[in-house]
Chain A
Amino acid sequence: MRKTPLAATIAALAFTTTFALADEPKRGGTIDTIIQPEPPGLVLGMVQNDPTRKVAGNIYEGLLRYSTDLEPIPQLAESWEVSDDGLTYTFHLREGVLWHDGEPFTADDVVFSADVFHRELNPSARAVLQHVESIEATDDHTVVFTLAEPFGPFLISFEAGTFTMVPKHIYEGTDFRDNEANNHPIGTGPFKFGSWDRGTVIQLVRNEDYYEEGLPYLDGVNWHIIPDGASRAVAFENGTVDVLPNGTVENFDIPRLSAMENACITDEGNEYFSPFAMLWMNNREGPTADKRFRQAVMYAMNREFARDVLWNGMGQVPLSAFGSNAKFRHDGLEPYDYDPDRARQLLDEMGYDGEEVRLLPLPYGETWNRWAEAVQQNLREVGVNVRTVATDVGGWNQRLGDWDFDLAFTYLYQYGDPALGITRSYRSDNIEKGSPWNNVEGYENARIDELFDEAATAYPEEEREALYHEAQEILHEDVPVGWLLELGFPTIYRCDVKDLITSSVGINDAFRDAWLDR
């Protein structure tokens, strides 16, 4: 049906990419693309939301990048060693790297970024840094991280958006958030900040002194700011922009746009974040506090339908709490297939009395509203009395932060390792009001806490697997949340834009290698 043409396009794309690699890249040209919504600021490390990562990921860099199969590859660190006990990580930095203002990048910048800047400002980096005992620069180009105990995901935490390298000579001794330089970000990346005409465009220009010989190929990147979804689609249709990063246009526009002549579509470049759509279920009170109700919800939802109709057949229906490219995934679990009869049976067993259940859609556009309608209908078919509660982003945040919901849509990033992305939704020490990203559902299980604690610090890697498998079996049975879909977030672009997606963070550092075959 609808799946076929897209799948065909993707196959065709895979074919063209292999071809493109054989071509000699061409220098020059500017790419026009879209950033949605307008980012609040461009200093990565100070702001880590998605639009900031997309734009500033081309200005700033981290120690490592990650390939599309999540293997670390050199960025500012040329090579690295891990001691046998898993406690000491030594990074050898690239020489001859300059900040955009001409100052040299050294080991002192790394120590400052990690030990001072991120410890103060960055909650995601803080979560990793709590395992780090000391960070030392042993010479200008060597940095040694010493851990208090082994931490499995340590090597995958150095992605530029989370663990950004910021210039010490600009920030040291200042109030970071009030620093004048925040309006003119200075990184080491392939593009320099050009200008930002608020509400209209952010322009990046080529870094002539970039350390990779010949890179980048482009003269610049213009990030257009267009608040209306239909207008963004028009901008691609009439040729004003060449690249539509993931999440830029509504899903129902995707088949039309990707079918245009000279339009290519790819699902690659989401591997690091692997956005995972979930249904929060309030474990504290109401029918959702009963495990059988939550299992019934899993059986009642037709997740394949949602993927095929609302998400154009892209993405994967997850088996359980660990996504399909998550490490240590347990394949042996019995899937929660679409089975309304089983759902009804479970509801009977628990004696569900028709108590009203409030469902909060994610206020991120039309697709999510329709998805909520589909789930509402699925649940009504098995006899659950569902009422949808509409909110805007602010209201959604507030309700989740105050635990004022029964069912709620969300999606979460997985960050390449269960200890970084997955376990935060289930650990009981992560239950805290005020955030929509922690253990919002209120699931408490001492065994799970124990397993996740052990697994994060077990060493070497093989030790972790058995622990995570046991945890997955428990979660699969308890269904603390509903596992909806591993989202396919496609990027649409003109086929003559080559080598666009080269790492697992996709568009966030895409323009480093991209070139125009024109």
Chain B
Amino acid sequence: MLYARLIVMRLLKAVVVLFLIVILNFVLIQLAPGDPAAIMAGEAGATDEEFLRQLRERFGLDQPLYVQLWRYVSGIAMLDFGWSYRQGMPVLDLILARLPATLLLTGTAFVLSLALGILAGSMAAARVKKPSGSLIMALALIFYATPLFWVALMAVVLFSVYLDWLPAYGMYTVGAGHTGLALVLDIAKHLVLPATTLALFFMAIYTRMTRASMLEASQQDYVKTARAKGLAPRVIQRRHILRNALLPIITLAGLQAGQMVGGAILTETVFAWPGIGRLMFEALQQRDYNLLLGIFFFSAALVIVFNIITDLVYRLADPRIKGAS
């Protein structure tokens, strides 16, 4: 019951926040240089006054700003995200068509980085003064500091060009006509490089953070007590140290999860993964404002949802928080 009340309250707040975000985004985007009609005309390679006038009228760009804002906000209230100027399709259709690919990629990377990061971090914490522990931390530092696109390109050179083990780009083999299980395997094969690349950075962060907070937790009195009463080191590590060290990791995981819609621009571009990040980048370059606003809206909504989920998970991990808010 307490949870239900909490969720309802948070959702109500979320609607207000989302409304403010929509208005803020709309205003911000008006500040960017470049008029969508002029860009479309520019892209066409030829233009005249008539062409520009038609475009502006068609997309309502000839209306005063407050009319445009009103139309946009009232549209969103009806779940109408408008029309993509450039692609000539409803924004919602475009986003929904790209969403599964992105969620598959970022979701896989999320699970991968979280699981491996915590594993590596706890291993490093248990081997704090041993070479193997230092090796894990050195690797984590390297992956943390290396630019993502470079890792991606090098992975392509190694695994696709030289070894020819994995496909370099795309989501499935074009023209192969796979269905059923074959298609699933094909997609999985295409997923390996981009998901790993995307996961590496977060994995490094989780590793470092897990190790640090586990080391901190292991200094606590209750750990000494546990040792004194003769519990096995493994049990202490898992039940007393790790669980208490989890809170900062959950915070970070909540942040990463919030980025699942728009956080993979580079990876999606290098690996030609047909997701939202690429759509967003292209929309930005083409000043396809409705599409861009639509993606911003979805990203913002996702961040809010994951903030709520993170709060709930806190309560599961640490029952002491329950009374606090």
Q: Of residues 121 to 136 in A, which have CB atoms within 8 Å of B's CB atoms?
A: 123-124, 126-127
Q: A234 vs B168: C-alpha distance in the bound complex, in angstroms?
A: 8
Asked if B15 CB lies within 8 Å of chain A CBs, one says no
Q: Give Cα A289–Cα B285 distance, bound, in whole angstroms.
A: 32
CB of B128 closer than 8 Å to a CB of A: no
When distances are taken between beta carbons in the complex, the residues of chain B under 8 Å from A149 are: none
Chain B 164-190: CB-based contact to A (< 8 A → 1; otherwise 0): 100011111011000000000000000
Q: How far is the CA of A439 from the CA of B295 in the complex (A)?
A: 37
| 22 A-B contact pairs sorted by A residue (CB < 8 Å) | A37-B282, A47-B44, A123-B47, A127-B46, A177-B58, A182-B88, A199-B98, A220-B175, A222-B174, A224-B272, A227-B278, A227-B282, A228-B272, A230-B270, A234-B169, A235-B168, A393-B39, A394-B39, A435-B41, A435-B42, A437-B45, A438-B47
Contact present for B272 and A225 (CB under 8 Å): yes
Q: Which residues of the partner chain B approach A201 to less than 8 Å between Cβ atoms?
A: 170, 174
**In the complex the two chains form, what is the Cα distance from A399 to B39 in whole Å?**
11
Closest B residue to A124 using CB positions:
B46
**In the complex, which residues of chain A have a beta carbon less than 8 angstroms from the beta carbon of B33?**
394-395, 398-399
* Complex interface residues of chain A between 388 and 427 (CB less than 8 A to chain B): 392-395, 397-401, 413
Do B272 and A227 touch (CB < 8 A)? Answer: yes
Q: Is the CB of B174 within 8 A of A49?
A: no
Which residues of B are found within 8 Å of A48, using beta-carbon distances? Answer: 44-46
In the complex, whether A436 has a CB less than 8 A from a CB of chain B is yes
Which residues of B come within 8 Å of A, CB atoms?
A: 32-35, 38-52, 58, 86-88, 94, 97-98, 101, 153, 156-157, 160-161, 164, 168-172, 174-175, 269-275, 278-279, 282, 285-287
How far does the alpha carbon of A220 sit from the alpha carbon of B170 in the complex, in Å?
A: 19
Please, which residue of chain A has its CB at the minimum distance from the CB of B162?
A238
**Which of B48, B101, B269: most chain A Cβ within 10 A?**
B48
B69 CB to nearest A CB, Å: 21
A278 to B46, CA, bound (A): 16
CA distance A177 to B51 in the complex (A): 13
- By beta carbon, the residue of chain A nearest B276 is A199
CB-nearest residue of chain A to B55 = A177
Q: Which of A197, A228, A238, A435 meets B274, CB within 8 Å?
A: A197
| B168 pairs with A437, CB closer than 8 A | no
**B269 touching A227 by the CB < 8 A rule?**
yes
Q: Is A41 an interface residue (CB 8 A)?
A: yes
C-alpha gap A124/B44 in the complex (Å) = 9
Q: Knowing A199-B274, A234-B156 touch, does A38 contact B169 (C-beta < 8 A)?
A: no
Residues in A lying within 8 Å of B, measured CB to CB:
30, 32, 37-38, 40-41, 47-50, 123-124, 126-127, 177, 182, 197-201, 203, 220, 222, 224-228, 230-231, 234-235, 237-238, 240, 392-395, 397-401, 413, 432, 434-438
Contacting pair A200 B39 (CB below 8 A): no
Say how far A279's CB is from chain B's closest CB, in angstroms: 18
Given A197-B274, A199-B278, A224-B174 in contact, is the A394-B34 Cβ separation under 8 Å?
yes
Q: A230-B153, A398-B34, A398-B35 are in contact. Are A437 and B49 (CB under 8 A)?
A: no
Answer whether A123 and B50 are a contact pair too, CB < 8 Å, given A197-B274, A234-B169, A238-B164: yes
CB distance from B111 to the nearest CB of A (A): 23
Q: A398 vs B38: C-alpha distance in the bound complex, in angstroms? A: 7
Q: Which residues of A contact B41 (CB under 8 A)?
A: 123, 434-435
Q: B156: nearest residue on chain A (CB-CB)? A: A234
Q: Is B88 within 8 A of A199, CB to CB? A: no
In the complex, the chain B residue whose C-beta lies closest to that of A227 is B269
Query: What is the minimal beta-carbon distance from A276 to any residue of chain B, in angstroms?
Result: 13
Taken together as a complex, chains A and B put the C-alpha atoms of A234 and B86 apart, in Å, by 29
Q: Which of A50, A227, A398, A432 contacts B45 (CB 8 A)?
A: A50
Bound-state Cα–Cα, A226 to B52, Å:
30
Q: A203 to chain B: which residues have CB within 8 Å?
A: 174-175
- Provide the bound-state CA to CA distance between A401 and B172, in Å: 41
Complex contact A123–B51 (CB within 8 A):
yes
| CB–CB B49/A401 < 8 A | no
Pair A38/B38 contact, Cβ less than 8 Å: no
Instruction: For the complex, give the distance between the alpha carbons of A395 and B26 in Å.
Output: 19
Check if B42 sits within 8 Å of A397, measured CB to CB: yes
- Which one of B46, B161, B164, B275 lies within 8 Å of A199 (CB-CB)? B275
CB of A392 within 8 A of CB of B285, answer: yes
Nearest CB to that of A125 among chain B residues? B46
How far is B49's CA from A126's CA once the two chains are assembled, in angstroms? 12
Residues of B within 8 A of A50 (CB): 45
A366 to chain B, nearest CB (A): 14
Bound state CA distance, A394 and B34, in angstroms?
5
Tell whether, in the assembled complex, residue A41 and residue B161 are in contact, meaning their CB atoms are under 8 Å apart: no
Interface centre among A182, A393, A434 (most CB of B within 10 A): A434
Q: A127-B48, A392-B285, A435-B47 are in contact. Are A224 and B170 (CB under 8 A)?
A: yes
**Closest residue of B by beta carbon distance from A413:** B45
Q: What's the nearest-Cβ distance from chain B to residue A212, in Å?
A: 25
Q: Flag if B50 contacts A235 (CB, 8 Å).
A: no
> In the complex, are the beta carbons of B174 and A200 less than 8 A apart?
yes
A342 CB to nearest chain B CB (Å): 35
Report the separation of the CA atoms of residues A250 and B218 in the bound assembly, to the nearest whole angstrom.
54
A382 to nearest B CB, angstroms? 32
Residue numbers in A under 8 Å from B35 (CB-CB): 398, 401
Name the A residues within 8 Å of B274 (CB-CB): 197-200, 225
The answer to whether A226 touches B58 (Cβ under 8 A) is no
Closest beta carbon of chain A to B173's beta carbon, Å: 9
Provide the residues of chain A in CB contact with B275, threshold 8 Å: 199
Query: Considering the complex of A and B, which 7 residue pairs feature the smallest CB-CB distances, nearest first?
Result: A199-B274, A394-B34, A397-B42, A124-B46, A226-B272, A123-B48, A123-B51
Alpha-carbon separation in the docked complex, A400 to B47 (Å): 14
Q: Nearest residue in A to B170 (C-beta to C-beta)?
A: A200
Residue of A nearest to B34 (CB): A394
- Contact of A38 with B272 in the complex, beta carbons under 8 Å: no
Chain A residue, CB-CB nearest to B98? A199
Residues of chain B within 8 A (CB-CB) of A127 are: 46, 48
Distance, CA A50 to CA B278, complexed state (A): 20
Q: Identify which of B51, B58, B157, B279 gathers the most chain A CB atoms within 10 Å of its CB.
A: B51
- Are B170 and A434 within 8 A (Cβ)? no
